[in-house]
Structure 1
């Protein structure tokens, strides 16, 4: 099914309407995801180079008029409050850091839910997908999340249909985007849909980017995948990344790739100078470290979520990998926050 068909491009024989976009920025939002999206829209909005809101118009919305701090400490000043009840063709929710104290207030969540009821297209950018899922808006939708947050998303929403392969996903009224360049190319897709191919390409060219990438374009993979040249090794690592919680055996991974275990091990050593078993352990421990720093779950629970049946084995492996215990890592993280 081609989900893009849910959007109807504007007829060339009719006067194009002004497309309105509202932005809700979560506390400690990702500035690059927001700026990539809005700058592409800004360029396409004008017929010249004056940044006039002719074809697109936008607001940064908040429950109050206080500046909203991004994760890099740059602040954005809202232009409108949610209490004005303005309708937007697209309502984009830009997420950022996932710590428990970095959430949108309830008033803003209710505003998003109301916008969905009134047929606004709802966009979750970066970890905005977490916000939409918590608001109960993605229960019937396919969801795109960054590979960096995939395990965390599946841990919190195990029943949702999430993927970390594509740059963005359009499923009727709900749109989710991995962030980064995904936000840029999602904006280009909407520009092409509502203004045309030339305008979309022009926006990207001005921003020093290439032609618009379709939704199914693969996300840039983790560093371990990028450094591998062999397609078999890359696929094996993706199997590992997607099965942190319930680890597969190396034999199962090899079978999925129509390889012998011995051949797969040779490929890993040749490409990455590490065995698949050792890499699997390092990625599981890395995910555990992320959960320890960003969640309040117990150490034993996190160990189980990362596929460790034996807590003592987890604690020993964690200290060998990072040079400190899991409890010490959590204490350091709390001190930084």
Structure 2
């Protein structure tokens, strides 16, 4: 473990070696590291008193992120046992297949030396592809749920939780969950005060454990037809926008008529009705998991107003949103 050279300074309580894949997600890396940075000293001077982190590489060449920024590694791979954890930060789906043989051997060596491994974003894809998640639960984004099954061919991943800690394997879907996972680790090794301080300085309200749900949620209606799944995810990503079906069709490379035929042929529903169903499902999720007003839920789910939302919800669910909320989430 290192803070200076190959020696770990006495004040360092937590050290993490980090591998980033080609076209990694910058926010996933930044959120994770910033929690370590803010927990690393007594103020906000980025002094590595409690925590240390190093970007590792076999070549020392800059690595390009998915948004186009390059990051320069700190040092070569070396002995993984000098770190408390080794993390892999992924990004675009095809990036996980580009990990070099040297980096793969480094990760296998870390596992043999019982160094806990962390998969961030599609970093879990890398770990699973190397056989390092066999027998472990794995957390991925709901957005990448089907991609994990298709690309890795493994067990169904956890895609409704903030992160998963299963013995010496820790996985999270990226985004703010990277910060929460880092805070969980900081709390364990450095202290709860430092973990809470880090999150507060990042304007993240409080610590979240593995049992917390991801902000998004998987689509209830599933399909193995790639173009339809792509269209449905595009709808969900733009749930609060006045998105026209022509725009959805253009996004997936089809005409409006072709998209309608595919939806009706495969799922027995038009794209417009599917979009409405996605909005209703999202509104139902918000009713169950938040205390937001019906007006706010209507806006977030893409309805014209709360009256429009109430009418369609009652028509589809046979109950008003308020009655539904009282029945399933009485504490709200």
Partner of 1:214: 209
In the alignment, what sits opposite 1:239? 220
2:110 is aligned to: 115
2:262 — aligned with what?
Answer: 317
Pick the aligned partner of 2:136 from 127, 141, 145: 141
Shift of 1:138: 0.6
Shift of residue 16, structure 1, vs aligned partner = 6.6
3-state SS of paired residue (1:239): coil
In 2, Cα distance between equivalents of 1:314 and 1:156: 25
Q: Cα RMSD between the aligned structures?
A: 3.0
Report 1:164-243 matches (<5 A).
Answer: 164-221=159-216, 238-240=219-221, 243=222
8 Å contact 2:21–2:95 — kept in the other structure?
no
Distance (Å, rounded) in 1 between the aligned partners of 2:231 and 2:14: 45
CA distance in 1, matches of 2:230, 2:92: 21
User: What is aligned with 2:20?
Assistant: 25
Alpha carbons of 1:86 and 1:196: their partners in 2 closer, same or farther (altered >3 Å)? Answer: closer
Distance 1:155 1:199 in 2: 39
Determine if contact 2:81/2:110 at 8 Å carries over to the other structure.
no
Q: 1:314 to 1:206 in 2, by over 3 A?
A: closer
Secondary structure at the aligned position of 1:99 is classed as helix
Runs of 5+ unmatched residues, structure 1: 1-14, 223-236, 247-280, 289-312, 323-337
Deviations 1:152-209 (A, max 9, x none): 1112334324110001000001111010011010011111111222111111111111
CA deviation string 1:105-143 (max 9, x = no partner): 111011011011111110000000100000100111001
TM-score by length of 1: 0.63
Secondary structure in 2 matching 1:51: coil
**Map of 2:89 onto structure 1:** 94
Structure 1 residue matching 2:39: 3-state secondary structure? helix
Paired with 2:53 and 2:154, the residues of 1 have a C-alpha distance of: 34
Residue deviations 1:226-276 (CA, integer Å, cap 9, x gap): xxxxxxxxxxx7432xx4349xxxxxxxxxxxxxxxxxxxxxxxxxxxxxx
Q: Which residue of 2 aligns with 1:64?
A: 59
- 1:128 is aligned to 2:123: yes
The residue that corresponds to 1:76 in the other structure is 71
Aligned residues: 235
TM-score (norm 2): 0.64
